[in-house]
């Protein structure tokens, strides 16, 4: 029988690289935890309709990329392709918007699923950390989220990323623009797919990466010229607040993003070392989404940053995160010393010192190899003679220096040396 492989478009996170993923999740969430965002966790699947209504029937995500299933009970479910619709659904269901002041600020971290054409940086199972600020229309909130994402990337040491910013207008001005754009696109020579897209979601055509399409788009009406006064003023304030925080961005009037629910502010973080899958994160304002999924009017803004691509970005910039060794002390027992050393390792662990011990009845050589491999700062070596004298040998793995330590003093001594 052949061994099983992970499904196409997925990969396993294995040590030691998996430690980088954990550190990235931690780095992205730290600024959020520090800014009033509470943790939320929702199921990995939802009713299909939440996404078809929320994300939009015409989007690639819903029309092509969703993993859907019918349960034995007849429910139509989908593995979540993104986080915003679920988080808003949960906030509404939990009445978070009625409990206290608005906005409700939430952050999350989890797995997302899209049936995509798999390639480097584009997977069928991927991981995001996201944030949503629900129920307030305030440019400072849009600015806050952009600034916090910038802070997260910078805390990881990333530098070669850019922030693209745009406004998509609102329900007053966007329909007018949409019509103007559609009229323009009608005169272009487009393939069948793009013609259909121009009918359903013309703004997405602006996003088309193909040169021949971009060439024809020269002279197309631009949303910037159609924004109503309220949207214009809102956008200017977001820009001013982000600028005042010292965060540099680029105005990108063609930035549309692949989800239908966005209004006004939209932004994307792109990394220049990642080739075609350059978007490491993105987000924007979604003032109409709550009503689209049956809730009250709750203007909101949020983002999701991709953990997989952030790790790729770190690799592209040659950044190695300073991840402390998982084990501080590694015990090597000789002769009949194993039970005592096992007891000491337990004691160290209870005292908060990361400790491990060689298993499987290895000899000195094999056990010392385990100690080396563990990356531990100290090896704890003892045989019967040491124990008779009431000591263990504490070997500094960096200097090679070895000192006997009384059994009763071990925990304190180790802690002092590690401090
Ligand atoms: P989106 O919801 O499409 O704006 O995605 C937000 C972020 O999630 C992107 O910028 C990527 O970093 C990440 N992401 C989205 N789709 C994938 C995927 N198929 N594979 C890996 N990362 C993804």
Instruction: Give the position, in ligand 1's atom list, of the atom nearest the Cα of 116.
Output: 19
Summarize pLDDT for 342-394 with one digit per residue, the tens.
Answer: 999 999 999 999 999 999 989 999 999 999 999 999 999 999 999 999 999 99
CATH code, domain with 113 = 3.30.930.10
Q: 162 lies in a domain?
A: yes
Categorize the per-residue pLDDT at 71 as very low, low, confident or very high, splitting at 50, 70 and 90.
Answer: very high
Contacts of 245 (CB under 8 A, 6+ apart): 143, 147
Q: 9 lies in a domain?
A: no
Using CA atoms, how far residue 309 sits from 136, 272, 407, in Å, is 30, 12, 48
26: CA distance to ligand 1 center in Å? 18
Are residues 372 and 276 part of one domain?
no
Q: 335 lies in a domain?
A: yes
Q: Which of 8-22, 55-69, 326-340, 347-361 has the lowest mean pLDDT?
A: 55-69
Are residues 334 and 264 part of one domain?
no
Are residues 404 and 357 part of one domain?
yes
Range of the structural domain that residue 142 is part of? 17-173+227-316
Are residues 351 and 287 part of one domain?
no
List, in sequence order, every residue forming a beta bridge with 251; answer none if it has no partner. Answer: 165
Which residue puts its alpha carbon closest to atom 13 of ligand 1? 306
Judge whether residue 156 has pLDDT over 70.
yes
Number of domains forming the structure of the chain: 2
Q: 101 lies in a domain?
A: yes
pLDDT of residue 258: 66
Q: 118 lies in a domain?
A: yes
Judge whether residue 259 has pLDDT over 80.
no
Judge whether residue 250 has pLDDT over 70.
yes
Rounded to an integer, the average pLDDT of 185-194 is 87
Q: Which of 14-18, 255-259, 265-269, 277-281 has the lowest mean pLDDT?
A: 255-259
Rounded to an integer, the average pLDDT of 162-166 is 97
Q: 301 lies in a domain?
A: yes
CATH code, domain with 356 = 3.40.50.800
**For tokens 């989220």, what's the residue?**
145
Q: 392 lies in a domain?
A: yes
Of 278, 295, 316, the domain-final residue:
316
Nearest to 249 by CA among 98, 95, 145: 145
Alpha helices in 130-173 (DSSP H): 139-155
**Host H or E run for residue 194:** helix 192-200
pLDDT of residue 257: 75
β pairing state of 329-333 and 378-382:
parallel
Judge whether residue 1 has pLDDT over 70.
no
Which residue puts its alpha carbon closest to atom 2 of ligand 1? 82
Are residues 341 and 311 part of one domain?
no
Are residues 166 and 60 part of one domain?
yes
Are residues 341 and 280 part of one domain?
no
Categorize the per-residue pLDDT at 282 as very low, low, confident or very high, splitting at 50, 70 and 90.
Answer: very high
pLDDT of residue 210: 87
Judge whether residue 396 has pLDDT over 90.
yes
Rounded to an integer, the average pLDDT of 193-207 is 85
Instruction: Give the position, in ligand 1's atom list, of the atom nearest the Cα of 83.
Output: 2
Which residue puts its alpha carbon closest to atom 21 of ligand 1? 122
List, in sequence order, every residue forming a beta bridge with 370; answer none if it has no partner. Answer: none
268: CA distance to ligand 1 center in Å? 11
Of 284, 316, 348, the domain-final residue:
316
pLDDT of residue 325: 83
Q: Which residue among 128, 260, 313 has the greatest number of ligand 1 atoms within 8 angstroms of its CB, and so is best to mutate? A: 128
pLDDT of residue 97: 96
Are residues 119 and 232 part of one domain?
yes
pLDDT of residue 28: 98
Q: 10 lies in a domain?
A: no
Are residues 355 and 311 part of one domain?
no
Are residues 267 and 160 part of one domain?
yes
Q: Which residue among 309, 313, 314 has the greatest number of ligand 1 atoms within 8 angstroms of its CB, and so is best to mutate? A: 309
Q: Which residue among 306, 307, 313, 314 has the greatest number of ligand 1 atoms within 8 angstroms of its CB, and so is best to mutate? A: 306
61: CA distance to ligand 1 center in Å? 11
Q: In this structure, what DSSP letter does residue 215 have? A: H
Are residues 345 and 279 part of one domain?
no
Which residue puts its alpha carbon closest to atom 17 of ligand 1? 122
Summarize pLDDT for 289-337 with one digit per residue, the tens.
Answer: 999 999 999 999 999 999 999 999 999 999 999 998 889 999 999 999 9
**Host H or E run for residue 381:** strand 378-382
Which residue puts its alpha carbon closest to atom 9 of ligand 1? 281
pLDDT of residue 122: 97
Instruction: Give the position, in ligand 1's atom list, of the atom nearest the Cα of 114.
Output: 19
Distance CA 153, CA 310 (A): 8
Are residues 394 and 251 part of one domain?
no
Judge whether residue 2 has pLDDT over 80.
no
Summarize pLDDT for 79-134 with one digit per residue, the tens.
Answer: 999 999 999 999 999 999 999 889 999 999 999 999 999 999 999 999 999 999 99
C-beta of residue 356 within 8 angstroms of C-beta of residue 327:
yes
List, in sequence order, every residue forming a beta bridge with 68; answer none if it has no partner. Answer: 78
Distance CA 23, CA 321 (A): 8
Q: Which residue among 109, 123, 126, 313 has the greatest number of ligand 1 atoms within 8 angstroms of its CB, and so is best to mutate? A: 126
In the structure, which protein residues have their CB atom closer than 6 angstroms to any atom of ligand 1? 82, 114, 116, 122-123, 126, 128, 258, 279-282, 304, 306, 308-309
Of 267, 282, 316, the domain-final residue:
316
């Amino acid at each position: 029988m052949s061994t099983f492989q992970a499904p196409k478009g997925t990969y396993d996170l294995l040590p030691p690289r998996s430690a980088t993923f954990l550190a990235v999740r931690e780095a992205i969430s730290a600024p959020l935890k520090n800014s009033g965002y509470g943790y939320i966790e929702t199921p990995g699947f939802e009713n299909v309709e939440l996404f078809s209504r929320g994300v939009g029937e015409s989007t690639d995500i819903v029309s092509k990329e969703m993993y859907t299933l019918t349960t034995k009970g007849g429910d139509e479910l989908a593995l979540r392709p993104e986080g915003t619709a679920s988080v808003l659904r949960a906030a509404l269901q939990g009445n978070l918007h009625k409990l206290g002041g608005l906005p409700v600020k939430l952050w999350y971290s989890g797995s997302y699923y899209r049936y995509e054409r798999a390639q480097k940086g584009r997977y069928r199972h991927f991981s995001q950390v996201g944030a949503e600020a629900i129920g307030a229309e305030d440019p400072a909130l849009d600015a806050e989220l952009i600034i916090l994402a910038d802070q997260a990337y910078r805390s990881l040491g990333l530098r070669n990323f850019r922030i693209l910013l745009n406004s998509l207008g609102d329900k007053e001005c966007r329909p007018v623009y949409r019509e103007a754009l559609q009229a323009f696109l009608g005169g272009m020579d487009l393939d069948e797919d793009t013609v259909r897209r121009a009918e359903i979601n013309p703004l997405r055509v602006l996003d088309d990466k193909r040169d021949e399409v971009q060439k024809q788009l020269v002279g197309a009406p631009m949303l910037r010229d159609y924004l109503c006064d309220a949207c214009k003023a809102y956008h200017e304030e977001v820009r001013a607040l982000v600028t005042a925080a010292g965060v540099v961005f680029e105005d990108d009037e063609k930035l549309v993003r692949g989800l239908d629910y966005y209004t006004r502010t939209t932004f994307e973080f792109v990394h220049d070392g990642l080739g075609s899958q350059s978007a490491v994160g993105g987000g924007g304002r979604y003032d109409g989404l709550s009503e689209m999924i049956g809730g009250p009017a709750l203007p909101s803004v949020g983002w999701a940053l991709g953990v997989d691509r952030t790790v790729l970005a770190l690799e592209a910039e040659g950044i190695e995160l300073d991840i402390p060794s998982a084990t501080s002390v590694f015990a090597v027992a000789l002769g009949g010393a194993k039970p005592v050393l096992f007891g000491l390792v337990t004691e160290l662990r209870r005292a908060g010192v990361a400790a491990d011990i060689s298993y499987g009845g290895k000899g000195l050589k094999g056990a010392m190899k385990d100690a080396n491999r563990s990356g531990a700062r100290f090896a704890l070596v003892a045989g019967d003679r040491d124990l008779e004298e009431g000591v263990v040998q504490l070997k500094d793995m960096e200097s090679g220096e070895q000192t006997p330590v009384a059994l009763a003093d071990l925990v304190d001594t180790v802690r002092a040396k590690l401090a």
